[in-house]
Amino acid sequence: MPKKQKTTRTKTVSSVGKQAGKQPEENKSDFYHKHKSTIWTIIVMIVLAIFFIVNNTRKIPEQGSYPPTYKSANSSEVSSQP
């Protein structure tokens, strides 16, 4: 089998000087792309805070009847143990 010939790669040289420091102007739409994760994190945290506040400020429901399989003797044994 014939061997493959190796190819040599040349490095590209970037220009040094005033042009190296120039960056293209940013559009206003780039703000969203740069800060997208931060914006969504803040939105999720605000929604979670609203749910937390609403859940904890609602009126406590009145006591209902116990389930049919509930045994009151089991609960007193658990609470009396140190």
pLDDT one-digit tens code per residue, 29-70: 788 889 999 999 999 999 999 999 998 888 776 778 888 887
The sign of the dihedral angle between the CA atoms of 4, 6, 7, 9 is: positive
CB atoms within 10 A of CB 82: 2
Q: What is the pLDDT of residues 9-38, one digit of tens each?
A: 776 666 666 665 666 665 567 888 899 999
Q: Where are the domains of the chain?
A: 30-56
Contact 32, 39 (CB under 8 A): yes
For the entire predicted model, the pTM comes to 0.42
pLDDT of residue 50: 96
How far is the C-alpha of 17 from the C-alpha of 7, rounded, in Å?
32
Give ∠ CA 54-56-61 in degrees, rounded to 5.
Answer: 105
pLDDT digits (tens, 9 = 90+) for 70-82: 777 755 555 555 5
